[in-house]
Structure 1
């Protein structure tokens, strides 16, 4: 190395020794002859230690003199080059460097100057960038190729956990997410990490989730990070849930629903780099978009599968058409209904099977059907294989490809040939009823929902002696002053609400226009009002039917005038009657029936005051009755009408309380009360209400059962349809083909089991099952059950014991098939709900009965559901059994079988301990 003078030489040497880059000077043999301070700092050696080494001692790639010599030979031609290599520190660690190498000539001697820069940060940044890109390349095919939202989330979380090397990775959904999109929060815990799940039902886990969505919720595309040091006063959830460091990001809104993507470091603090945060945000953005797309696609597919499953299993005739109207699928009901074979119809145009008059209708409306997406109650005339035609009513919907384009139709139809004939007969029947109404001796009026009179019969004109044109479409019963004064407006409102009821007898004056040539007349009427409802049970009209009782009223007045006749009437009346002075309150007379019903003599109730005290001992109720009755008598006296009937609870002399309908008529200053005992009737009504509530409860259970059946049938059908579609994939490996076929078979077996259970319940309900009694060897039967279920029990590491009778040749008579089914259902249930331990089953003899038992150490049954465990349409769903398949019919069927064989079944269970099921059968059938 040459320099102008010594001063410059010292300055240059000072710059070299104190440079920020490591500098190495070596001879052509690789021996180090000078280094600067940065070189010592980078390698961890002192200057003296380094000068005792060669380049091969510090370079991890140029380790031999031959390698160094070859490089220096190249350098003689190039004079300068830049290389990337790795240096080795004194402690043995390796780090990347970039070296600028120059060839120097110092007084005829060749020297090598290397200026080295530590590029660890650069390499790490580059590696992080590659990791960023590589991660997104892993994420992209997952979110692009997946049709399963939950699986996609699991796969993405696996990638996140692998890339970020975290102990816990999770996706939490806002409170309304699960109900809306039907997939739960997901959590991934690294293998070997023992920690409480943040999805646990504990209060700690719940508090943490709640805080994430409330106090710690961050805006879209903003990362939230935190560290929890042991020296700090950590929040309880951070300590209990093992959270040292966390990184959370809110996934962009999906249909106004938030998700939070998060990672946890459970055992050490960790600082998250900006690149990691950026990558985390990008993953969340792509995951959010994918979830939104998959939910849309999933909903579309579910809708299509729902309709396809519904139509495939419907008892109605079903067909499916392609975009050209050609038949691509029909069910057996369709073929049976029209008498064709499948090969006769597939590929044929649907219009070819229609009556010529309907073919043009189909061609015109099929295009509209594909555009609209559904049709309902479309009538066609379709040809039977034998040549005759049938009327059908068709309804259906369309299915689409993932891109939204038309795929095919799903249609069902039902035979309405008989309905058409019935409609014709109905028209004839309607005409007969019209004539019947017209010729009826009773006065009939029909009113619309606004109270306007829209129809009357001939008896109406005869009663009021006016033509119907005078009132029809003019008279409004809801605005009639008489209706409001008499208090009948409430009855009419109840009729419009759906009730059928009788009005109290009343005097009514015809309401006609003031300038009419006809005179208004008054008549006593006995009226019944009832609603007319449509097929949806909605009231469309009300009908008012009158019986003219004017003559009866006049006859009654004449009868009352005669005291003797009046007393005879009272005495012989089948109802309790009392004649009372409305002024003095004196009870003038009670009949024998009054004494029979209430037990009170005339002396006991000689005045109304005594009657009030005895009949209504409760002061508050007595006050109510007195006021109510007084008003009713006052209204009846004023309007000269009967006392409006009312039901009261009356205490009898023997202490019993009866429900009595009390009504009466006014007789000048007196009144005659009539009492009808409704106790028995009310009891029957209450029993009917109870029966109705029971029926409604059964209806709810059936609805829950049908929802469960829908799930139990749809789930395996989805498996069958999905994997059957996958079998069509070109170049599918034999291993995958076998796997798919196995899954299809398993799904088919599950569906068959569900359908068999439904059929069995149907047979039981229709009493089609009749026991077939034969002699059986009990010990042999129990041993066979043990042999059959042992492999299944071994799969779950459960010990299966059987305890038959000591008499191995014991023979008794029963239905072998039903008894096998009972044992199979109970043992199968025991294995299904037992995760560890043992199951014991067998039989003991108790007098004339055989007592069978099945005991397990399973999860047990909660006390609150044990009372209806054998009910039909009931399935006990605990949190830890939701993944277990089953329709919930097994125990109901088992109970029915036991009762068919003349036995009884019961159970004992303790949650978390296990269950014991017992049933008895008579030894002599």
Structure 2
């Protein structure tokens, strides 16, 4: 029984049918009874009327319920169809593939959301439309062509095609179109299913391209590749392998590794055992082999004609799932040229080493990091210490001496690939890795050049030195003399001009430029000088100057009026002297003194005093230079004598040169001392008297020693005074010179000059005493007067002590006193102590 499953509508319909049947039964029985008992026709008619009405009413009710029943069933069927339709839509819309259906005329009757995405339209815009509405004509024609072909053959068709989505991206689709059949098997349309194979297509293209590149690589690579089967037969080889092994591709395939066509050999050219062949090594060990160098000895078809190809071999095995070797891949890199080049390089290296050792020049080789890796024997001779002191220790980039000398710039140029000629320079190997401090100053002429490989890449640099110390010392000496001469001229207190018979002015000193106002470039010829300075007197003066080149001794030219650049007239007192022949031309030195302000007594006296001081200085220079010049002359004569006797050797020349160099250094220091003496003081400076006196002593000590005068000095002062250092030094020199002259004129034995420096409350006191003749008390008050002298007119000017007093009292606000007892004379100079601020 399924009564429990009936709904209310069905129950009501069954009840209505039940009562309808009861009503019929009742009518039937009641109709039979009425006909049996009733004789009244009217009642019978009424009964028949009720009966008919009942039939109609009952039938209507039944029909009504029947209609309601069928409507209910139809509604349930429609709901079921709608539910199934929604399920169908959800299913096809959830599928990523493009799904669609068309009728026989090509109009779309169904599609999924993937098709909407592909067309860029909604389903309502698609259904009922053809391809010509949705796509461009060319695309629609293509679709229609495939549709007609499928309908004609009445079987499924598939094809791949590239399509473009509305957003612009492309996809590679596999489309399958099939007949759409009704329940009788008749075709009433087509159904299509398109799957996206873009990734697979792209992967396929990558694989194809990769395989092609790999194939091209194997074919074109400069590396021989051979694939062996486990039995060592060759199953594949590329063209390079054919070239290396000496056979064409077809001839190689199928050959065994033991084929006598080629033999593998070691570096010493002894044959490899068959078990040591590369493929057999891989087969026996099942492990890769790496960078094994072997020789391949191949026969060229002519008896006894053999050639060797050297190769760098690598290899590995491929395995199957059972760990069994399926094939062995061996690669051969042809390194024959490299081996031959290495052999050739070895020969060249031996030649290079031989040349290095035989070369008289120093040769040093450095690696890319600047480390010294090789030197020749000349290196040890140059520096006079073993090469082991620096080899593999000395680094160009870490050397302070290299940095100080300025060589890094040239070294970097060489590492950049240039060959560099370094200007002559001095080098002293004093660092820890530069000869362990064994310094030896040398003048060097150096060439730095790179060593490059076949690719023009710098591998090392070579530094080649030539020792030019001796030549440079001579040149330096000459240059030093020239500089000293120029310095003396330039710093001289009087105007000086050098000129030659070609009418060229070679030099004018600073005082000359300052006095006249003309720079050297404005008066660099006698023509320019006389025209600017003498005006109308130019012809006369120029004629006089032309006569000067005939001089053989110094002359006083007298006084000349000079027109300065500022159009002022000054009076110069000129003198000239011959300098001999310079650069093939007779040359004259002319000096002048401006006496324009002669009437200005003090200034005139200062000029005369400085001239006198200059004379004293020249005398001192003469004393200090006499011995060094004699030594220089002696060693020079020795060198000339050795040369003339053909007994000249580098060791002796070096000794001579060192001695000469030492003496010229002493001469240079002397020039510096006296040049400083003549530098004018422009401002007051805080100084210590001990510093001034020490500098004074350095200038006068030689002349005192040469004359047998003992110099004593003591200083108990560390105070400062305000002074013009050069002027104060002039005072001390004047007094010491006066003491020296007094001692010499009286031929004093055990002659002594003693200086003491000490402080009192206000002054720094300097006492200068000598044991000469002493000063007569009658003339003692006059010694500071101008032009007063006890030396005679030929030996003294009488200005030294006058100027000393003027400097101490007027310029330095100090005091100067003199006392003389017996043979002892003492000068006392008192200068105010400079108070701390």
Name the TM tier (shorter chain).
0.3 to 0.5
Larger C-alpha radius of gyration, 1 or 2? Answer: 2
TM-score using structure 2 length: 0.35
TM-score, structure 1 as length reference: 0.32
